[in-house]
Amino acid sequence: MSHWELTYKQYPTKLAPTTEDTHNIPIIFPNWFITHNKGDRVRFAQFGNEAVWNVNPNDSWIYLQTNLVVPWETLEAALPYFNQLTDLDIYTGFVKYNGKDIAWHQPMQTWKYRNNRTVHFNQTPTEGINSALNSEEETSEASSDESSKKSDPDKDTAQVEDLLRQAETTVISAIQKLSS
């Protein structure tokens, strides 16, 4: 059982979120709840398999298990393709990609244009919550047939390494011939 699941079960009383609560939960937290703890209204959220918390909207998020602050950069970097996005609002999920407005689609854990079409980025994600936190595989809207057509990054890396080795061997062979 993950730390998040244990935390969720530890607090059986869940409060209805206020408008302020809903506007102050970053979009990268797929699950969250509000409860009272020692007289404070506390927000708990799932970040990967970990539980994080904060009391005030302006406060930092803190890992429950270690009481270390979650750096803001870590929250942003948890979003797939974060380095290709501009004008990121981590609370609303509205952002620009190549000058076009897009938004984070929480149920599918993907970026969508305003017309609800999935955004197809030019390259593989540069982090994302899944790789940043060693979480589950990214949810995809594609069917299993479409996803089987996509390239496997590990296989691609191995192929590139083979090509580089072949090129190196060819260059060394050519140098040896020229030296003889």
Helix (H, G, I), strand (E, B) or coil at 53: strand
Q: How confident is the model at residue 147 (pLDDT cuts 50, 70, 90)?
A: very low
> Per the structure block, which two tokens stand in for 112?
């969508």
Residue 153: predicted pLDDT: 57
- At residue 132, the pLDDT reads 44
CA separation (Å) from 176 to 116, 171, 172, 173?
Answer: 58, 9, 6, 5
Q: Given a cut of 50, is residue 155 above it in pLDDT? A: yes
Would you kindly state where each structural domain of the chain is located, as residue ranges? Answer: 3-70, 74-149, 150-180
Measure the CA–CA gap between 54 and 41, rounded to whole angstroms: 9
Half-sphere exposure of 38 (CA within 13 A, CB side): 1
SS (H, E, C) 12-50: CCCECCCHHHHHCCCCCCCCEEEEEECCEEEEEEEECCE
Q: What does the pLDDT look like over 82-141, one tens digit per residue?
A: 889 999 888 888 999 999 999 998 888 899 998 989 999 887 665 555 444 433 233 333
β-bridge partners, 47: 50
